[in-house]
Amino acid sequence: MNFRIGLDLDTILKMHPLIFNNAFPLESCKKKERETELLSVGFYSGDELAGYCVVIADSRKGILRPWVGGVLPSFRNQGYFTGFYMYLTEYAEKNGYRYVDANTDNYKPAMLRMLIKLGFDIVGVGETAYGDGCKIKFRYTVHAPVKLRISITDKCNLNCFFCHHEGIEACCGNEVSIPDMERLLIQAKKRNAAEITITGGEPFARPDIIDYILQYCSTWGKPPFIKVITNGILVKEKQMENISRYKGKLRFHVSLHALDAKTAECIYGKTYDVSRVENTLRLLGKYQIPFRINCTVLKGLNDNAGQMRDLIAYGVNHHANAVHFMELLVTKQQIELQGYYTDYEQINNTLKEALSEYVVEKEEDTAKRHTYNIADHQNGRIAVSAYRLSCRAGCQNCSQENDITIGSDFRCYPCYLMADKTCGNALVSLNEAVSERERFLLQQDRQYASAHLYWGE
């Protein structure tokens, strides 16, 4: 099905009696047309007309309001009005409207459920001459897209000594429930969450929550881009098969800091079997899920060109889309971590040496990364980056680009460097948490990160 604006009035006049068994309200239409703009939307199955709706477009108030319309009998019960309202909310977002209004009768439960599922709020009740005389008024509020980063568990099967726990103060043992996750996702849809990053702890300690998020978001008109952050050890094939059914864009970020067992044990704090990660990468390939490898560069452990070269080759051989070599996040107070810090320029210089055996087709340099797009004749192309963490790129990058972090306690955490600071409870009100985060970030000194980070000797 598809929807197009511009259906002519003559076609509507002929179609309306076939849908409603009465004449189109022409005089009322002409009156409305004198007062405001009308959009005539045709519902199509291929090129065949299936229905229509006339929409009142009040640009002064920023409101789109469906007025009259329906679907021909042979096309009913096929989801046309669900598709139409999804189309209309997208049109509103693209064309600067703030709201989409809708009315339906109390005796139409399918319509009521549909509007609630699509993110409309009940804003009032009125009277009507039909059914039980009760009309329910709905409104969809158009928000700018946001990116959410949701920690679904504090638990992790590894014990990386440098882990910053997503900027959350401490592992507090919270267990996320499916009903609470549903409450958050309902709000996320209304808040126009375009991206959702699933993180932890280790998310695959809670595969049930991962499955629920993907299943729920698959029902959205525009499923968000979902990223899953994992160390790749706990993933099972059945889980990956379920994940591969997600209807939106999907990507995995696999944390892999060392390939040899001795170095890995120093980093992860536990005996580490890289073959289990290799199995996850194989599954990602089998189910055609894009992924990148993330490596935090630690001085004296995994910072030489040979180790970087090996990890790049590993990524190429396992069909990774990208390999990122990332700066360590360490503050002036974290004395125990300062000896492991390698600055961005040194990472980039070592990476250039590691890439000497490859053909670099293109380089891209931004505030956050220097990327080398390399060619491999067997496996295509792969992007290899020296990655500057957001805190080191400047606080303005956080407020402009970074995800909104929500902990497993559903609190909003605005800053990796202020792990004890929260900005509201997203479960109670995601809108309020997002607004409080924005206010908090605007009040901070733009040089806060520069003053508190460790920058090396």
Q: Is the predicted pLDDT of residue 234 greater than 60, yes or no?
A: yes
CA 361 to chain centre: 30
| Mean pLDDT on 1-10 | 94
Instruction: Please give the pLDDT value at position 417.
Output: 84
How far apart CA 268 and CA 159 sit, in angstroms, is 5
How far apart CA 425 and CA 180 sit, in angstroms, is 12
pLDDT cut 90: percent of the chain above it: 72
Least confident range of 286-290, 339-343, 400-404: 400-404
Instruction: Please give the pLDDT value at position 168.
Output: 73
Neighbouring-strand partners of residue 51: 43, 71
Q: In the structure, what pLDDT confidence band is assigned to residue 376 with cuts at 50, 70 and 90?
A: low
How far apart CA 79 and CA 201 sit, in angstroms, is 40
Q: In the structure, what pLDDT confidence band is assigned to residue 37 with cuts at 50, 70 and 90?
A: very high
> Is the Cα torsion angle 94, 118, 411, 205 positive or negative in sign?
negative
How many residues are recorded in the chain? Answer: 457
| Mean pLDDT on 417-426 | 89
Residues 50/44, Cβ–Cβ less than 8 Å? yes
Instruction: Please give the pLDDT value at position 368.
Output: 87
Instruction: Please give the pLDDT value at position 378.
Output: 59
Q: Is the predicted pLDDT of residue 421 greater than 60, yes or no?
A: yes
**Burial of residue 377, with CB atoms counted within 10 A of its CB: 0-12 exposed, 13-18 middle, 19 or more buried:** exposed
Question: Of residues 131 and 65, which shows the higher confidence score?
Answer: 65
Instruction: Please give the pLDDT value at position 445.
Output: 80
Gap between the terminal Cα atoms of the chain: 62
Residues 373/381, Cβ–Cβ less than 8 Å? yes
pLDDT digits (tens, 9 = 90+) for 164-202: 877 676 555 678 999 999 999 999 998 999 999 999 899
φ, ψ of residue 234 in degrees (nearest 5): -95, 0
Residues 318/439, Cβ–Cβ less than 8 Å? no
Angle at 86 between CA 185 and CA 434, to 5 degrees: 35
Question: Of residues 381 and 37, which shows the higher confidence score?
Answer: 37
pLDDT digits (tens, 9 = 90+) for 255-286: 999 999 999 999 999 888 889 999 999 999 99
Tokens, residue 53: 């709706």
Q: In the structure, what pLDDT confidence band is assigned to residue 402 with cuts at 50, 70 and 90?
A: confident
Least confident range of 122-131, 152-161, 191-200, 309-318: 122-131
CA proximity to 153, closest of 114, 202, 187: 202
pLDDT digits (tens, 9 = 90+) for 133-143: 788 999 999 99
Least confident range of 152-156, 316-320, 394-398: 394-398
CA proximity to 172, closest of 420, 430, 414, 428: 420
Tokens, residue 319: 């069909």
How far apart CA 434 and CA 436 sit, in angstroms, is 6
φ, ψ of residue 390 in degrees (nearest 5): -55, -40
pLDDT cut 70: percent of the chain above it: 96
Angle at 359 between CA 358 and CA 363, to 5 degrees: 110
Instruction: Please give the pLDDT value at position 351.
Output: 97
Q: Is the predicted pLDDT of residue 1 greater than 80, yes or no?
A: yes
How far apart CA 383 and CA 373 sit, in angstroms, is 4
Average pLDDT in the chain: 91
